[in-house]
Amino acid sequence: MVQLDGHTLSIEEVTRVARNGEKIQLSAKAIAAVKKSHQRLITIIKQKKPVYGINTGFGIFCSKNITIEENKELNRNLILSHAVGVGPFLAPEIVKAAMLVRANTLAKGYSGVRPIVIETLIAMINQDLIPMVKSQGSLGSSGDLCMLAEMALVFSKGITDAEEESGLALFKGHQYSGKEAMREAGIQRVEFGPKEGLATINGATFSAALAALCLWEASTLCAIADTALSLSLEALLGRSEAFDERLQKVRGLSGQQEVAEHVRKLIKDSTFINSSPHIQDAYSLRCGPQVHGAVRDTLNFVSNIIRKEINAATDNPLIFEKYDVLSGGNFHGEPIALFMDYLSIAISELASISERRIFRLLDENLNQDLPPMLVDDSQKIGLKSGLMIPHYTASSLVLENKILASPDSIHSLPTSANQEDHNANAWTAVKHTHQIIENSFRVLAIELYTAVYAINIRLKKNADKKLGFGTQVAFDKIRSLVPYKPGDILWEKEIELLYQGLKQPDMILQGLIE
C-alpha cells in the first residue's frame, strides 16, 4: 500500500501503482495539511479581496471579478472549456500515473482543496476506474490543461450534470460515460468548490507522470544494454582490458564504473573473450563503459529532477501560512521539458551504439571470421539473406530516434493573448522520450537476437568454448524464448517475441540483467 503524503512518492511507486495495480491511501499527515489549507482558503474568501483563480477569471481574464454565487459555475466552465484534447487515447497506465501524481500534488497541502477531491481520485485509482484522455493538445506550461480537464470531467459534476459532459472512462474492461462509470463503481462525483477546478488541472502532471514511467523503463533499458554489449563482445571475440577496474577508476565517472563492473561479471570465465589475436576492439565495444555509463549518469540526474516534480505543488495560486496567497508559475513544465530532452539524447545514443554493434556482427570484414550477414550455411550465401534486414530495421529506428531527440524545449508559441507568452512544450518532449525508449528496446532486441545467433554459429565450430557465467544465463534465457533456427525464417516474429520478453520481466529479464 502506497501512502500519499505529497512529499515522498517515488518513481518506483508510480510504476507499481500504474502498472501493477498497487493500492494507495492518503496519509493522516496529508489529511491534516489539506484540511488546514482549505480552512485558509475559506478565510481568504471571506476577506473578499480579489485573488487570482479564487474569485477572478483565468488567464487573460484574471482582472474579471467573480462572486461567490458564481464560483461553482466558474469551476465547472473551466473544466468544460479546457477539455479539448485531440488524437488517440492515452494508454490507461499513463492516465493512472497522472491521477496518482495529481492526488499527491494536492495532498501536499498548498492548493486549498477539500480532502474529498483527493479521496475521490484515490478511490478511482484503487478501483481501476480510468478516464479516457486524448494524447494531444498540451503545451505543458499552464499545465497539461486539456488532459487534466478530460480527467476531471469524469469525477466532477456541474449543476445540470449532463451525461454527455462527463467524459469517457474505462471500468472493468468496459467503456462508459464518466457519469455511468462512477455510478457502476459506487463513487460519488464531486461538485467543485472555490479553486478546486483550477487546482485539479493546473500543473504539468501528465508530463511528470509519463516522465516517471519513462525513467523506470530507461533504467531497465540500461541494464539490458550492458547485457547486449556483453553478448556482442562474446560473439566478436572481444578483449576484456577495456573493462578493467583500474581504467574506470582513473576517470572517476560512476556510471562508467557501474557498466564496466556489470560487464566484467557477465563475461567472467568466458573462453571466447580474448581468444582472438587482435589487440584492440572498435569503439562500439571498447568504449561501452564510457557511452553506456554516460547514459546511466544522465538517467540518475534526470531521475532526481522528476522525483522532485512528482512531489511538487504545481497549481497557481498557492496558499501559505498567515493566509498568504502567492501567484507564480510552478505549473510551468520547463524543468520536465529540458531534462527529458536531455534523456532523449542519452537514450538515442544507447540505441545508436547498439546499431553499430549489430552492423559489426554482420560484416564479414569486421566480425572475426563469422559468415557475412550470419548466413549459417556457407554454401547458400546469396540464396539466403541471413540477418541483413533486421539490421535495416534497427537502422531505421536509430534514424527516427535522431529526429525525435531534437530538443522540444527550445520551441515556444505564445497563448492567451500573450499573457502566457513562453510555453515549455513539455508534453511533446516527454512523448518523444517515450517513443525513443520504445524504439531503443526494439533495437536492443535486435542486437540480442543477432549476438546469440552469432554465438550459435561459433559454437557449431567450437563446441569446447564457453560463455561467461552471466552471458551464459542470458543466452539460455533468450534461447528458451526463441530457440535457434538455421536458415532464413520470419525474423520479425522471433524478434517480436524477444522484444515482448524484454518488456515482461517475469519472462526473461531477470536472466538478462543480474
Our answer to whether residue 331 is catalytic in this structure is: yes
Neighbouring residues of 307: CB distance < 8 A, sequence distance ≥ 6: 10, 11
286 is catalytic: yes
- 176 φ/ψ angles, rounded to the nearest 5 degrees: -135, 170
* Active-site residue, 392 included: no
Residue 342: active-site member: no
Cα 225 from Cα 246, distance rounded (Å): 22
Could you give the C-alpha distances from 61 to 16, 64, 65, 485, in angstroms and in order? 40, 6, 9, 67
- Alpha carbon separation from 341 to 153, 165, 302, 308, 361 (Å, rounded): 31, 36, 10, 17, 31
How does DSSP classify residue 377?
A: -
Catalytic residue among 309, 334, 349, 420: 420
Please tell me which residue in 38, 40, 76, 82 is annotated as part of the active site: 82
Q: Which of 52, 58, 192, 342 is catalytic?
A: 52
Out of 65, 245, 283, 323, which one is annotated catalytic? 283
Q: Which amino acid is at 135?
A: S
> Exactly one of 19, 286, 359, 400 is catalytic; which is it?
286
Exposure on the CB side of residue 416, measured as CA atoms within 13 A: 15
Q: Residue 433 and residue 425: Cα distance in Å, rounded?
A: 13
Using alpha carbons, select from 468, 71, 127 the residue that is nearest to residue 266: 468
**Which residue's entry shows cell 471571506?**
46
- Helix, strand or coil for residue 110? coil
DSSP 329: -
Provide the 8-state DSSP code for 378: G
**C-alpha dist (Å) from residue 348 to 157, 308, 321, 354, 410:** 44, 25, 46, 10, 19
d(CA 331, CA 414): 16
Rg of the chain over Cα atoms, rounded to whole angstroms, equals 27
Q: Is 52 a catalytic residue?
A: yes
Assess contact for 262 and 226: CB atoms under 8 A.
yes
Candidates 202, 367, 401, 425; catalytic one: 202
Residues designated catalytic: 52, 82, 202, 283, 286, 331, 420
